[in-house]
Structure 1
Amino acid sequence: MAALLLKRLTLQTIKTENTCIRRRLGKYVVQKTALAEPSHIASAPRPSCLIHAEAFSTEDTQDKREKKKKNETAFRNVGRKINERIIQVLDEKGNDLGPMHRANVIRLMAKQDLRLVPRDPSAQPPQYQLMTGTQIYQERLRLRGMERAEPKPGPTLTKELTFSSNIGQHDLDTKSKQIQQWIEKKYKVQITIKKGKTTEEPENKMEEICNQILQTMPGIATFSSRPQPIRGGKAVMCVLRSLSQKEENACRSALGTQRGDALNRGNGNDGASNALHQ
């Protein structure tokens, strides 16, 4: 009896230990799974964020390098790093010293304590100038002043103006002055002229008004888009813009030629009348 009872106690102890081991293993597996899944989910977006940030910083660095390189190539002291074997040299006063070997140029720089700056690298041979440190500093100040004085190009804005073909002459003159002010400020002006409802008018009256407005601004504006019918012929639209520098020069030349011809004709008429009086 005692042996049987001892055997049962041993079996029960073994079952209890197995159950505890299974429970502990189950909890351990569940905990490992729960910890592994969130870490996997949380770490998923990290590579994309890191890659994106790295690409952005690379672009910024590249832009800075390009700006720095542009500024350096504009006007800089090349020192002793002369890539070409033979170069055209100007002295500090701008006098041409002729083609020189780079070794001779380096010796001249060391002897007179001068710097070397590129003037026309695309020439054959490339042109450089010897300058003092003060001259380089003053030249950089001058170039910066020129850059600040230049107007920065921006997007061309468009002004819109709509009125009826029944407009009176006084109102048309007022609108023409407003359009001219916009054109002088480098705006584009979109003009829409609607056909009058109560009066009978020629078919081309709306186009004539557009041409009339343009004629009030000789040498200032031209058509960016010529008058064309819209809304089934119930309106006409055109776009005016300011003249380019090339167009302004051509217009001034044409106006000068016309004035010269008019003066010549006037002098010729005066001469003819004087001859008749004699």
Structure 2
Amino acid sequence: MLEYPDWNHSHRIADRMAALFLKRLTLQTKKTESGCVRSCFGKYMAQQTALAQLPLLASTPRVCCVVYAQAFSTAKDPHSERTKKKKKKEKTDFGSIGRKIHDRVIHVVDEQGNDLGNMHRANVIQLLDERGLRLVPRNTSTEPPKYQLMTGLQIHQERLQLREMEKAKRTTCQTLTKELTFSSSIGQHDLCTKSKQIQQWLEKKYKVQITVKEGRNKEEPANKMEEIFDQLLQMMPGIATFLSRPQPTKGGKALMCVLRCLTQKEEKAYRETQMSQNEDTLNKEHGKDRDSDTLHQ
């Protein structure tokens, strides 16, 4: 009889040899850390170890979602800094745009303020070259946007005016208030000293808040505190006026008011009234002298 080979036995031997080969290969990759072999079998090894560490009753895996995150860096983004500076410059800077006219049709006003109507940008550029002028934006939010032709001197003068206006806004915002408190039983000499101090503050464009407290002398008249405010204004003619009239405070035991310096218009009106009063007094004196001369005759 012919003897046939045991096929099951041969398959088992082949499986054992393959398993032994894979075991040796994995040990070799751990020792040498070869890049090529590690890239091929590293994923397989990680999966096997992860599956071995999983519990028997694993929960249902969650669906992963991709989250896009911006990279963190302590260095400043130069592009964002440039855009911020550009926006700030556009708000504050005033000047010519050169020959870069983005709109096809614009509304033009000449250097003397005359309205030239809507013009094509090619005609505007030709007009700039012919007159030697510059184009300045006036109102870019309208349709079509409004521009004006200006000379270099006009642009310089308008820049100076804008700077002066900004300085004036800063000074008005930075106006401070000085406070002064004293008793109604103050002496005349001390009151004169206080008025000089108030005048110095007003000349520096300060507001002065004055509080006059009720004196200890019970024989003082009820309107003593109001009289003190009137005396202070009389000591500073043509300089100060009330920003807020005297009002009771501290339960009626004191009066408080705020003084401010006169504006240029108020100063002019005060001078005119003073001149008219002086003329009236002089006319009256001359009239009395004439009457006396006629009586003597």
Q: 8 Å contact 2:240–2:262 — kept in the other structure? A: yes
- Residue 264 of structure 2: which of 228, 233, 245 is its match? 245
Change (3 A) 1:60 1:145: closer
Q: Is the 8 A contact 1:115 1:130 kept in 2?
A: no
C-alpha displacement of 1:25: 2.2
State the partner residue of 1:187.
Answer: 206
Tell me the residue number matched to 1:152: 167
- Superposed, which structure 2 residues align to 1:1-278 within 5 Å? 7=12, 10=15, 14=19, 23-25=45-47, 43-44=69-70, 54=80, 57-69=82-94, 71=95, 115=132, 152-153=167-168, 154=171, 155-278=174-297
Which runs of 5 or more residues in structure 1 are unaligned? 30-38, 77-81, 90-99, 122-127
Taking the aligned partners of 1:130 and 1:67, their CA distance within structure 2 comes to 18
TM-score (norm 1): 0.61
Cα distance per residue 1:196-221 (max 9 Å; x no partner):
23543222211221121112111111
Please state how far the C-alpha of 1:27 moved relative to its aligned partner: 6.7
Q: For residue 24 of structure 1, what is the amino acid of its counterpart?
A: A
In the TM superposition, residue 277 of structure 1 has moved relative to its aligned partner by 1.8
CA distance in 2, matches of 1:26, 1:257: 110
CA distance in 2, matches of 1:6, 1:129: 97
Q: 1:129 to 1:7 in 2, by over 3 A?
A: closer
- Contact (CA 8 Å) 1:222, 1:241: kept in 2 or not? yes
Structure showing the higher helix proportion among its residues: 1
- Structure number, greater radius of gyration: 2
Structure 1 residues 117, 7: CA separation in 2 closer, same or farther (over 3 Å shift)? closer
CA contact (8 A) 1:192 1:237 kept: yes
Number of residue pairs the alignment of both structures matches: 228
SS in 2 for 1:233: coil
**Maintained 8 Å contact 2:246/2:257:** yes
In the TM superposition, residue 14 of structure 1 has moved relative to its aligned partner by 4.4
Which 10-residue stretch deviates more, 174-183 or 260-269? 260-269
- Scaled by the length of structure 2, what TM-score is found? 0.57
Q: CA deviation at 1:13?
A: 5.7
Distance 1:15 1:206, change over 3 A: farther
Q: 1:40 to 1:195 in 2, by over 3 A?
A: same
Q: Does the C-alpha gap of structure 1 residues 45 and 149 become closer, same or farther in structure 2, counting only changes over 3 Å?
A: closer
- Are the counterparts in 1 of residues 177 and 206 from structure 2 also a CA contact under 8 Å? yes
User: Equivalents in 1 of 2:206, 2:277: separation in Å?
Assistant: 29
For residues 265 and 175 of structure 1, the distance between their equivalents in structure 2, rounded to whole angstroms, comes to 37
- What one-letter code is carried by the residue in structure 1 that aligns with 2:258? V
| Identity percentage of aligned residues | 42
Structure 2 CA distance for partners of 1:129 and 1:6, relative to 1, 3 Å: closer
Secondary structure (helix, strand or coil) at the match of 2:167 reads coil
Contact residue 108 and residue 149 of structure 2 kept, 8 A? no
**Over aligned residue pairs, what C-alpha RMSD do you find?**
5.0
Greater shift, 148-157 or 200-209, is seen at: 148-157
Q: Tell me by how many angstroms 1:63 deviates.
A: 3.2
